[in-house]
Amino acid sequence: MTTASIATIESLEHEGRGVARVDGKAIFIEGALPRETVEYSSYRKRERFEQAGTVRVIRASAQRAVPGCKYYGVCGGCSMQHAELGLQVATKQRVLEDALRHIARVQADCIYPAIYGPAWGYRYRARIGVRVVPNKGGVLIGFHEKKSSYIADIDSCAVLPRHVSDLLPYLHELIAGMSVPDRIPQIELAVGDDRTVIVLRNLTPLTSADIHLLQVFGAQHRVSMWQQPGNPETARPVRSDEPAFLEYSLPEFDIRLKFRPTDFTQVNVHTNRLLIRRAMQLLDPQPGERIADLFCGLGNFTLPIARCGAKVVGVEGSAELVQRARDNAADNGLAKLCEFKVANLFEASTASLNKLGRLDKMLVDPPRDGAMAVIRALDEHAPKRIVYVSCNPATLARDAAILFHEKGYIMKGAGVANMFPQTSHVESIALFERA
């Protein structure tokens, strides 16, 4: 049996765990906050560090918060609920600055004010696991348990919109009543401005009785029910008269974007709008300029750039998303200012970037792997201003090091956007300029 020990917490690390030092060893303690004294129990011990959980808070921080979800500590998501929102954001800002300092050896000239959105009910997209476990009551629906591949069975979720969270108990009943509950491993939720879509990933064909159940469920709860028998492109509504697309709006730019429920979009529509505003302020698109939007997706940043009057070329690896972006540009009256290309930006070269033509500015919004190939491919013809939107401080810092030490750019500013409140995920934005 592991005995509990006592320590005083010095700081929070990048995953939101409290850091203490005991006899020269770093102890990473889940559920502990800076300046707290806690009793902890270690579950993993190594020569230079230990991982532990909080057993009891002896002296609490003034920034400790009451978790807003009853599944906190069981469900593996939202691990920072015990910290006030201000402390969460300050921790993310420090994680970003530490990555830039230690990985890139770069310091931003300016730290931007953090971008905040709603703290709860913000998650407009989610993938929820489904398992059939007879000795645990049958159908389980939820996210993974903490430090486990098992499903934490939930009947509510505080980060989902209330009307979606309220559906979870009924989804249990729906799946349990279908012919193949053990062949539906996942539910995907997508909320648009006008409606909500629920996609069931079915590994075997659904029966006519299953389809009828889904149709009745959709009518009763005013949601659109879809099935997905294969890859994301196979997803389709169970009622043939339902629209194939949802929409989300960017009111500040008078833009509406269509998307399929399985398309990649930002999960937090409120913070996304604020992030776009910040990106446009930093990029400052002007009529007559030509700007590249790399990893453009379905046009989330491309169309606001065009609305500001600049010509923009969007590049994305998915042909389907590129077509969606073209259609969105046309629907918003921006087709003449936008062009789109399909290309694998992870294999970008100087030659491929130069084929895009003259570029005055560039916006880069890569996935977690970052944009190293793009950054390395920049030459003397590269744009003088680059706005970099990142979902991974480590790869942003890696690419910032190349921009600063090899390409002659200065980091004019950087800051975080709290895209995923209650979690340790860090979204950030940075501005680079070359003289």
User: Rounded distance, CA 35 to CA 18, Å?
Assistant: 9
User: Rounded distance, CA 53 to CA 40, Å?
Assistant: 6
Burial of 263 (0-12, 13-18, 19+ CB in 10 A): buried
- Report the candidate in 148, 181, 141, 145 with the shortest Cα–Cα distance to residue 164: 141
Contact 386, 396 (CB under 8 A): no
> Residue 391 catalytic?
yes
Contact 304, 281 (CB under 8 A): no
* pLDDT given for residue 135 in this prediction: 85
Mean pLDDT by 10 residues, the chain (435 residues): 82 92 95 97 94 96 96 93 96 96 96 96 97 90 91 96 98 96 97 97 97 98 98 95 96 98 96 98 98 98 98 97 98 98 98 97 98 97 97 98 98 98 97 93
* pLDDT given for residue 146 in this prediction: 87
Contact 242, 261 (CB under 8 A): no
User: Rounded distance, CA 333 to CA 408, Å?
Assistant: 37
Do 5-64 and 89-118+268-434 come out as alike in CATH topology? no
Domains of the chain, residue spans: 5-64, 89-118+268-434, 125-246
Q: Which residue's entry shows tokens 């149709």?
A: 215
Compute the Cα dihedral for 350, 354, 358, 364 and give only its sign: negative
**Span 89-118+268-434 CATH architecture:** 3-Layer(aba) Sandwich (3.40)
* pLDDT given for residue 97 in this prediction: 97
- Determine whether domain 125-246 maps to CATH 2.60.120.510: no
User: Rounded distance, CA 430 to CA 281, Å?
Assistant: 12
Q: Please, what CATH class does the domain formed by 5-64 belong to?
A: mainly beta
* pLDDT given for residue 2 in this prediction: 57
234 Cβ partners below 8 Å, 6+ apart?
228
User: Rounded distance, CA 216 to CA 225, Å?
Assistant: 9
Residue 202, φ and ψ in degrees, nearest 5 = -110, 125
Which residues are annotated binding-site positions? 69, 75, 78, 157, 266, 295, 300, 316, 344, 365
Which residues are annotated binding-site positions for S-adenosyl-L-methionine? 266, 295, 300, 316, 344, 365
Q: From the candidates 296, 308, 338, 391, give the one annotated as an active-site residue.
A: 391
Type of residue found at 289: E
Which residue blocks in 284-377 are alpha helix, DSSP H?
Answer: 302-307, 319-331, 350-354, 372-377
H or E segment and range at residue 215? helix 208-221
